[in-house]
Every structure is written in structure tokens, then in C-alpha cells.
Amino acid sequence: MQKWEYQTVPLLVHATKQILDNWGSDGWELVAVIPGPNPESLVAYLKRPVEQS
């Protein structure tokens, strides 16, 4: 059975693509983006498979 690890990441509206590209290059897949605690922020939820040994 596939196991996953998850991460929440604050996103700055003016740098969203750069932030997501950085996490994506490390193997993280975007699951959802929701509004953050203030109007100019977002929170991204990411997941990636846990390597099984």
C-alpha cells in the first residue's frame, strides 16, 4: 500500500509559482490551495510518496 507524507506551505501571492515550482522539484504534488490567515496569503497542501525500503 502506498504511504504518503504531507506538508502545508504558506504561499505569497506575488511568488506563488516560484514557491510551488521549488516544492515540485523536490517531488511534492499540490493537493489544494486555501485562503490563509490574511487576505494576501494562501496555504498550499502538498503530498509526496514515502519511499519504502
Q: Rounded CA gap, 36 and 48, in Å?
A: 22
Task: Please state the domain extents for the chain.
Answer: 4-49
C-alpha dihedral over 12, 15, 19, 20, to 10 degrees? 100
Question: Which pLDDT score, from 0 to 100, does residue 9 have?
Answer: 96
Q: In this structure, what C-alpha cell is assigned to residue 17?
A: 509559482
pTM: 0.85
Question: Which pLDDT score, from 0 to 100, does residue 28 have?
Answer: 98
One digit per residue, the tens of pLDDT, for the chain of length 53 reads: 999 999 999 998 889 999 999 999 999 999 999 998 887 889 999 999 998 77
